[in-house]
Amino acid sequence: MGAAAAYSEPVSADMDPHEETGDRYYYGYRTIIEYDEDGECVITYRPLTPDDLLDPEEGDVYMLGTLHNRDVERLRSIIRFRLRDREDMTVYSDLKMDWGVEDLPNPAPDISVIRNVRDPDRPRGVFYVSEEGVIPCFILEVVSPRYRNADINKKPDIYRRAGVSECFIVDPGLKDDEISYTIRGYKLIGNRYVSATPDTRGRFYSKLTDVWLGVSESGDRIIVIDGRTGEELLSDEERADKETEARQIAEARAETAEARADQESEARESAEARAETAEARADQKSEARESAEARAEQESEARESAEAELRRLRAEIARLRGGK
């Protein structure tokens, strides 16, 4: 079973990978737009550093990877579905949080849940906490291999200082194309983050969203369990796939039942046809028997008539002879 663990060991950060690979844009790039003396637009690109992830600017391009994007999209869909009836909770994704706190970086969490947001449908490029008057109560981050140290070691401390009640870090553990998920959970007690304790199945409970976060038995994906029903929650895509599969099964069963009904109807019609044929043959045999009996009676009557005529002729002959 892929056990989920709560721990906060520092991630090794020796030489930056981009120094080893020679890729200046290993962490991504920021587009710089300037104008020269002639008013001509000059566009340059500045390589990003891991710390830029902690305080991004709009338009920054990060090398997060397809696995990270897939996990964030899936988990965001699940959390939104779970909270669909909670009008007091708004779910955001990749929205920069401006805490309004000096010297505190302002990251853009992968998934954040905020209570009592005024006008939650209003478009926002940045969530200004001091203006909004509310802060995220739940944050979930998915670790990206290139930003592993920032995701695991630095972001939780930022969210602690900002006053986020619950923080969960999902780590795919991607290495050499192998995946083995783990989860870290933190609860705010006073001004300290205390590592959340998983249950016997390695699942972490979020009181604010009423879900359990765990790892599948094979360790290849994150599972989210509804705290009310104990059932696994699915993303929009997964629910659509499941409904399509159920519909296809129902249609296949209906087609099978219809085919079976057709076979039974054909069998019944065939049996009725055989019964009619057998009845017709019985009628023919009965008619033949009756015809034979009639012929026998006719032959008997003819024989009796012939015998009577023969006796009469014999008597007549005898009479004539006696008269001589």
- Rounded to an integer, what distance in angstroms lies between the CA atom of residue 226 and that of residue 148? 29
What residues contact residue 56 under an 8 Å CB cut-off, 6+ apart? 62, 96, 107, 108
Listed range (11-25, 182-196, 255-269) with the worst mean pLDDT: 11-25
Task: Report, in this order, helix, strand and coil percent for the chain, each rounded to 5.
Answer: 40, 25, 35
Task: Give the pLDDT confidence of 90-137 residue by residue, as tens digits.
Answer: 999 999 999 999 999 999 999 999 999 999 999 999 999 999 999 999
- Rounded to an integer, what distance in angstroms lies between the CA atom of residue 204 and that of residue 8? 15
Q: In terms of pTM, does the model score above 0.75?
A: no
Task: Give the pLDDT confidence of 222-243 residue by residue, as tens digits.
Answer: 999 999 999 999 999 988 988 8
Instruction: Give residue 31's pLDDT.
Output: 92
Instruction: Give residue 237's pLDDT.
Output: 92
Instruction: Give residue 317's pLDDT.
Output: 83
Cα angle for residues 306, 309, 310 (degrees, 5° grid): 85
Residue 310 pLDDT exceeds 80: yes
For all residues of the chain together, what is the average pLDDT?
87
Kindly state the percentage of the chain with pLDDT values over 70: 93
CA distances from residue 253 to 257, 259, 298, 313 in whole angstroms, order as listed: 6, 10, 66, 88
Contact 142, 68 (CB under 8 A): yes
Kindly state the percentage of the chain with pLDDT values over 90: 57
Write the class of the CATH domain 57-233.
alpha beta
Residue 71 pLDDT exceeds 50: yes
**What H or E segment, with its residue span, contains residue 320?**
helix 236-323
- Rounded to an integer, what distance in angstroms lies between the CA atom of residue 7 and that of residue 194? 10
Instruction: Give residue 278's pLDDT.
Output: 81
Residue 174 pLDDT exceeds 70: yes
Instruction: Give residue 93's pLDDT.
Output: 96
Task: Give the pLDDT confidence of 31-69 residue by residue, as tens digits.
Answer: 999 998 888 999 999 999 988 999 999 889 998 889 999
Structure-model confidence comparison of residues 228 and 273, the more confident one: 228
